[in-house]
Every structure is written in C-alpha cells, then in structure tokens.
Amino acid sequence: MPDKLKISIVQNHLVWENKQENLNNFQRIIEKLTGKTDLIILPEMFTTGFSMKPAEFAENMNGTTVEWMKSMVEKSGAAIAGSIIIEDNNKFYNRFLFVTDNKIEQYDKRHLFAMAGEDKFYTQGTKNTLIEYKGWKIRPQICYDLRFPVWSRNTDEYDLLIYVANWPEKRVAHWDVLLKARAIENQAYVAGVNRTGTDGNNYPHSGNSAVYHPLGNKISKTKPHENCAETIEISLSELRKVRTSLPFLNDKDDFELM
C-alpha cells in the first residue's frame, strides 16, 4: 500500500461566470503539474465563481466540465477534484467531483450558505462521501460545511479531509482557525483550497489555501492573494504514528444525525 500521497492545492482567481476562460486558466496550471502529483484540488465552483444563477450555468454529469476533468486526468496522470454547478433530476447542486482515470466520485454540499441565498437556488446534499484513492480514505466537503464540525467528525477513520471554497477575505481568520481545528479534532490531514480575486458581487477573496498536519501544524507555504499551485507530500505512516501515540479518537462521542 502506498505511504505517500502528493496533493496539489490550486489557488487562483476565478473569472466571474465565464466557464471557458476559467477552464483555460486551470488547464495551463494543470499542464505544469503533469507527472508531478497524485491529486490536483481546484476551488469551489471553479468554472463560475459562487454564482446564484444555476439555471444559466448548470451542467449535467455528461457535460463539458466533467469531460474536461476526464481529459485533464488523462493528461496529468493525477486525480482532479473541485466543485461545479450540476443539474440532476431537475434539481441544482453545488457538487464536489473527484475524477480519476476510471471513476467519478461525488458529494453534494450539505450546508447551503443562506446569507447569499444559496439555499433558495440549490438542493441540500444529504449524504457524506468517503473516497478511496491510492490507499487513502478521503472525505470531501465544501466551503460553509467547515463551520459544522459534527458533519465532518471522523467516525470512519478517513485520512484526508478536503474543503474547497469561495471564502471571503473579511472572514478569512475564521477559515484559518477552523481548518486547523478540523485537523486537530479529527487527527487527519486537512487541505483547504480557496479562490483569490474579487467576485461578481464585489467580495474580495485572499485565498489562504493551506494543508494542515494531523497535529494542527500548517505544512504548506501558499501565501494569501497568491495565484499558484503548491504540491505537498503527506504520509500515511506519519498519520498512523500520530493516532497511535495520541489515541484521542478512541474516546470520541457516539452520535447519529437526525
């Protein structure tokens, strides 16, 4: 079983509601990562920004962006992950996609951001997802989910928790603290990938994308407002060492979501 996993966090500006330009920008970034990483993580709604126009911009699971993600997997040799607007059975979802060379895994955002009206346009997800990739167990989440620790509680021993986001700069201090907290309380690696630039509603985003060690130490070097891709190697043996020496998860509370 592989011990190491190379993950690339892609922090970049998003061109407001312009799918083709965003795909072009990310393709240029992904091409530079070819053969250098195992997993490439893009931000939330990486084709449009945090748009409340799903009827105009939604795609289906056979749409242009899913096909683009498949082609990027083939070219780069890495899995590609990020969220886009999906229409499924006449409903709209903010859907996280994890695309490999032989499978597409998905997770629909559970906590819709009512302050921006997301709950009026999108359907809430009802199920958590556990992805198995290269010997790793991965739990995907989206932006506002970060504020709700019960939803991300590590009850099935995942190794890596991923958050993709359009998290505004004025609350980025919360983003920083909560990512670190999720790593510590779940004894897992946490990767948070956020956009930069100003969106169509004039909200600035600083990024602050990061990867945290299970002990809560930040192990990435991406800087705020920087458009870049950073690759970080994480280790299963290091994770197990932490859990063995500090077996906190053995004492976790049992609960059921109602």
Is 228 a catalytic site residue?
no
Is 4 a catalytic site residue?
no
83 phi/psi in degrees, rounded to 5: -110, 150
Q: Which of 19, 44, 105, 180 is catalytic?
A: 44
Q: Which of 59, 105, 143, 169 is catalytic?
A: 143
Question: Which residues face 130 on adjacent strands?
Answer: none
**Dihedral sign, Cα of residue 50, residue 52, residue 53, residue 58:** positive
Q: How far is CA 1 from the centre of its chain?
A: 24
Q: Which of 19, 59, 105, 109 is catalytic?
A: 109
d(CA 44, CA 97): 10
Which residue do the tokens 């070097």 mark? 221
Question: Which residues are marked as active site?
Answer: 44, 109, 143
